[in-house]
Structure 1
Amino acid sequence: CDKAFSIKIHIESHTRTHTEEKPYQCKLCKKAYLQSSHLTKHMRIHTGEKPYPCSQCEKTFQIGDPYLCSYSGKAFSQNAYLKSHMKIHTKEKPYKCSQCDKVFSMNSHNKSHTRTHTAEKPYQCKLCETAYSQGSHLAKHIIIHTWEKPYKCSQCDKVKPLNANLKRHLRVHSGEKSYQCSHCNYSYRDSGDLGSHMRVHTKEKPYKCCHCDKAFTHSGTLKAHIRTHTR
């Protein structure tokens, strides 16, 4: 293109935006990046490092955020992320699912949603056979292999790698079911379980078979059905 740069490494980095070459790959998962600085930021997901302190309180964060949203006050590390976020406020949804009528403000959300139809799980752990439909889910899973489990249950001997996992586990002991269905009396410990239950009322069947026209409310049912085609 017509862009010019004063420093060689800057043109090398820019050229990769055309070639889509991503030479900086995480050794713990499949994520790869155009720039080494992006890989450095990504690695903090695995290491838990939070080098950026808040100027107003004692909290620390994994990334510094110079790009500020004028609507919500949210901050982002890159201008491209801010532009994607702004679509939430402008209600712009240019990305349409090829399998259903849902539309999205971000292409990444559309791709993630599309995998609910195909049951595709492209993000596989290199340390075990577990695979996920989203990269963020794999990143959380990797912690099981790379970190100690610092969050111990006070009711039993179980330990969890994330505080959110421990909170979810504690509901097993307390019997708490804070996620209440708005259509009936059912309640659940986990928001994901409530989401699955809601399809009973909405009749939504987002998991479509790639071999025939059948669709299902749960991914597990789709997987069982797909096996009838591959026998």
Structure 2
Amino acid sequence: SVKKGFTQLASLARHERIHTGERPYVCTTCKKTFLTNGELARHQRTHSTLRPFSCHQCPKSFKTKRSRAEHLKSHSGEQPFSCACCGKKFSKSASLTRHNLTHTRERPHQCSQCGNAFFTSGELLLHKRIHTGEKPYSCSFCEKRFRCSSDLNMHIRTHTGEKPHGCPFCRKGFSTSTRLRRHMRTHVKKAVGVESSSVSSV
């Protein structure tokens, strides 16, 4: 049928871009390019501050269902992706891909301005903004702008008061994972202190 023929032609056109390297769909915010319109649409959600997909086990929320599904593995302990070289396991395929580069030490993405090389194209893109001064992510509460979406998300929490990183020992919440790790050291110190005092009293 005509419809089937059109679908096959569209699929062929998408496939041919893999060989030609053509990426005709451009993000107007950060200039990143994509093979398909669907990939561009998914990417554009990273620029949005909306996080409609909530985790039912902790206060974290996510921009996509896929991100939430990957996060849920951190609660279940599921790590289906394992490294063929060292056996280390990961909950995300992207984490495994990045880890594999530590074995090859390959940094295939090089900055044309300063020569620094990076594991991924995303890291290179982020680095290039140091040279250009580009800050495509803007806060909807104030006029501050940021180089990357993660910096924007952390900043937005200063406005909303959101604390998505919960301590597993006392349930206290923190706005960043760094602050959570710093807090958790207090539990470790307390545990060590209790252990040493019990030994000295024997």
TM-score (norm 2): 0.56
The equivalent residue for 2:71 is 112
1:70-119 per-residue CA deviation (whole Å, 9 max, x = no partner) reads xxx96xxxxxxxxxxxxxxxxxx8x951234969995872460584xx7x
Deviation at 1:135, TM superposition (A): 4.0
Q: 2:152 aligns to what SS in structure 1?
A: helix
Q: CA–CA distance in 1 between the matches of 2:158 and 2:172?
A: 17
Q: Which has the higher helix share?
A: 2
From 182, 201, 221, the equivalent of 2:179 is 221
The amino acid across from 1:109 in the alignment is R
Q: 1:217 to 1:124 in 2, by over 3 A?
A: farther
The equivalent residue for 2:97 is 139
The equivalent residue for 1:81 is none
RMSD: 4.1
Q: CA–CA distance in 1 between the matches of 2:147 and 2:163?
A: 23
Deviation at 1:163, TM superposition (A): 2.1
- Whether contact under 8 Å (2:73, 2:91) holds in the other structure is no
Deviation at 1:161, TM superposition (A): 2.8
Asked if 1:56 corresponds to 2:13, the answer is yes
Q: 1:183 to 1:113 in 2, by over 3 A?
A: farther
Deviation at 1:194, TM superposition (A): 0.8
1:118-140 per-residue CA deviation (whole Å, 9 max, x = no partner) reads 7x896897879x99764423323
The equivalent residue for 1:230 is 188
Q: 1:106 to 1:187 in 2, by over 3 A?
A: closer
Q: 2:122 aligns to what SS in structure 1?
A: helix
Asked if 1:212 corresponds to 2:182, the answer is no
1:78-227 aligned at under 5 Å gives the runs 97-100=56-59, 109-110=68-69, 112=71, 115=74, 134-146=92-104, 148-227=106-185
1:125-159 per-residue CA deviation (whole Å, 9 max, x = no partner) reads 7879x997644233234234336333221211211
The equivalent residue for 1:22 is none
> Once the two structures are aligned, what percentage of the paired residues are identical?
33
Q: 1:228 to 1:151 in 2, by over 3 A?
A: same
Q: 1:60 aligns to what SS in structure 2?
A: helix
- Whether contact under 8 Å (2:62, 2:68) holds in the other structure is no
Q: CA–CA distance in 1 between the matches of 2:64 and 2:125?
A: 31
Q: 1:140 aligns to what SS in structure 2?
A: helix
The equivalent residue for 2:199 is none
